[in-house]
Amino acid sequence: MIALLGILLNVGCILTLGYSLWILIESFVIIDVPPAIGHTVKLRILHCFGQLIITWGCILEKLRICSLPRLCQFLHDLFPIRKDPKVVVTNLRFGTIRVRLFQPKAASSGPRRGIVFYHGGGTVMGSLDAYHNLCSFLAKKTDSVLLSVGYRKLPDYHYPVCFQDCVNATIHFLKTLKQYGVDPARVVVSGDSVGATAAVVVTQALVGRTDIPKLRAQILLYPALQAINLQLPSYQQNKNIPVITRHLMMCFLRYFTIDPCWEDALLTGACIPANMWEKYKKWVSSDNLPERFRHKDYKPEFLAPFNEAAYLETRHLLRADNAPLLADDQVIAQVPEAFLVTCEWDVFRDDGLLYKRRLEDQGVPVSWYHAEDGFHGCTILFDSMLFSFPCSEKVMTAVVKYLMGI
């Protein structure tokens, strides 16, 4: 019996190692890492780690041992937290929403700037702990009071909980600014990836509110803002570039409880009714992009034949609270000024560029930083010793510079 168990264990180890090796080889073959990013080997290794985690997370999920989101969150939270003696950190709860407050320890002559930060991670990864170092850095470097919002996410919570939490936490903070020593005329919302999406949703949701202070600005780091046109140049050019490939991007649709079988319909536009495309193409067509962002091999949009079943299963993706790029002009015109960061090697690059165009068309001031060597998710690595990239530090420097001007 013991001998049999030993044989089974050895076979299991061999299969595990073999399958992991196959995943790594496949990643190296399929993945494209442009030399412009720099540290290409480092990025490949980072991507391979991510692929291993996601693949084994899916296997463990099917075996009902552990869900993929829980595995990703557990590993993400292993990032070491650095305690800065110059920053006071307080864990709080705004109702059911966990938040973390970062306040510079040094005395201030008056109320400080306020920053509300929503972390990235596609509602699968990311947490207060994973973004602790970044938030502490911003609070200290800009002498600001920063509130990091720990919105609820997968696997226990789905659409629309994430953005609702961000809106509610922001409203609560805006109503209690005096308690935290924050200047009500200098409050900004910010975030990266889906956190940047949340920041846009928050600014639009608060338009017209007179019972709370108006937001001063929105800082958006490579946001995802629509799912109506997934054939934009950046989706084609960067579909196999880490850290977020186009295929991995579709995995995050589980937050919206959309079955993976509709992936092709979403990518080809088969779930978009013709009348809806005619209404929104003035905002989401590649014609609105600067010529320099059209890849030489770019193929213009061509919607597949309409699939009504796909539309009925995915239509909630087209709501303005999920696709804020589709908000009405009257709403866009009233949001605060923006600082927008886009990355050249990011599938969501063109979402940011299209939103920049929409804001400018409605007279909203926009400051823009484009990271020519940047990729999606680069800011979370800004203080990582092993996996730091030049673009990470450059983006953070640009953000700090903008904040200091507020």
- Which DSSP string do the residues of 59-71 spell out, in sequence order? HHHHTTS--HHHH
Give the other-Cβ count within 10 Å of 89's Cβ.
18
Structure tokens at 20: 């992991």
The one catalytic residue in 346, 350, 351, 373 is: 346
Strands 337-345 and 217-221, bridge-based pairing: parallel
Place of tokens 């109503």: 175
Exposed / middle / buried, residue 366 (Cβ in 10 Å: 0-12, 13-18, 19+): middle
Query: Catalytic residue at 193?
Result: yes
d(CA 203, CA 403): 17
Query: Catalytic residue at 247?
Result: no
Continuous segment of H or E residues that includes residue 394:
helix 390-404
Exposed / middle / buried, residue 158 (Cβ in 10 Å: 0-12, 13-18, 19+): middle
Q: In what order do the strands lie in the sheet with 97-104?
A: 87-94, 97-104, 144-150, 112-118, 182-192, 217-221, 337-345, 366-375
Q: How far is CA 212 from CA 97, 99, 208, in A?
A: 19, 19, 10
Structure tokens at 220: 């958006």
Query: Catalytic residue at 351?
Result: no
Exposed / middle / buried, residue 39 (Cβ in 10 Å: 0-12, 13-18, 19+): middle
Residues β-bridged to residue 116: 147, 189
The one catalytic residue in 47, 286, 376, 392 is: 376
Q: How far is CA 291 from CA 245, 294, 302, 360, in A?
A: 23, 6, 19, 17
Taken as a whole, the chain contains a residue count of 406
Q: How far is CA 78 from CA 65, 125, 149, in A?
A: 20, 12, 19
The one catalytic residue in 190, 193, 234, 286 is: 193
Of the candidates 216, 221, 192, the one whose C-alpha atom is nearest the C-alpha of residue 206 is 216
Of the candidates 112, 111, 113, 115, the one whose C-alpha atom is nearest the C-alpha of residue 101 is 115
Active site residues: 193, 346, 376
